[in-house]
């Protein structure tokens, strides 16, 4: 288990513990296999996300550490991300379905983001840590898995048990204990009437 600081978000208003305590580590336990029940629950939470017209424009590639599938995914990550993401118990690729049967899905990326959020919330409730990245080669990943042109890999999520600070690559250690920051909510409100 982790020896890092409590990283609960300093919120302006009360929110669920699972939301305030979720954060994106780069220190993964590189030994413990992924908790299969916890992973299944996170996928199930993604499944029940809302989407425009209930189109469910999401697909997933689940790649557990040690498999050939995992190697294929890792090979598409930029070097910086390989260093901290490959040790995680699994990588989950979030793939947008941008069209189906000739119909375009303009909400595909937005809805994929919703599914990813649902996944992370349940993963953290189940004791897993997550960290999403977009620093990878989507074309190479699509080719590696022979994806149809209607399927666009958009993000890769590291998922797994939390390690210790020493499990993070040296360049990533400061980020593990840095203050968690967001701009105040007031600065995000274009109108509040």
Q: In the bound complex, what is the minimum distance in angstroms from residue 162's beta carbon to a second copy?
A: 16
Q: How many residues does the structure list for the chain?
A: 193
In angstroms, rounded to a whole number, what is the distance separating the alpha carbons of residues 91 and 63? 5
- Minimum distance of a second copy from residue 19's CB (angstroms): 5
Contacts of 149 (CB under 8 A, 6+ apart): none
Half-sphere exposure of 20 toward its Cβ, with a 13 Å CA cutoff? 11
Pick 166 or 184: Cβ nearer a second copy: 184
129 closest CA partner among 43, 34, 9 = 34
CB of 135 to a second copy, least distance (A): 9
7 HSE (CA, 13 A, CB side): 17
Report d(CA 92, CA 131) in Å as an integer.
10
C-beta closer to a second copy: residue 78 or 166: 78
- What are residue 156's DSSP bridge partners? 93, 133
3 vs 71, which CB is nearer to a second copy?
Answer: 71
Quick one: 45 or 166, whose CB is closer to a second copy?
Answer: 45
Q: Are 109 and 154 in contact (CB under 8 A)?
A: yes
Residue number with CB closer to a second copy (166 or 186): 186
């Amino acid at each position: 288990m982790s020896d890092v600081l409590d990283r609960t978000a300093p919120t302006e208003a009360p929110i669920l513990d699972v939301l305030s305590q979720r954060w994106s580590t780069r220190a993964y336990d590189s030994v413990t296999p992924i908790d299969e029940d916890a992973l299944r629950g996170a996928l199930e939470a993604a499944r029940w996300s809302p989407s425009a017209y209930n189109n469910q424009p999401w697909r997933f590639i689940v790649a557990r550490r040690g498999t050939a599938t995992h190697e294929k995914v890792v090979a598409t990550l930029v070097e910086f991300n390989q260093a901290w993401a490959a040790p995680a118990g699994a990588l989950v690729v979030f793939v947008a379905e941008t069209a189906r049967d000739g119909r375009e899905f303009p909400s595909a990326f937005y809805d994929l983001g919703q599914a990813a959020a649902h996944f992370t919330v349940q993963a953290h409730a189940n004791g897993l840590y997550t960290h999403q990245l977009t620093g990878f080669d989507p074309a190479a990943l699509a080719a590696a898995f022979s994806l149809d042109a209607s399927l666009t890999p958009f993000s890769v999520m590291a998922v797994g048990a939390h390690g210790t600070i020493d499990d993070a690559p040296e360049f990533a250690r400061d980020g593990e204990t840095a203050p968690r920051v967001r701009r105040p909510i007031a600065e995000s409100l274009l109108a509040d009437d």
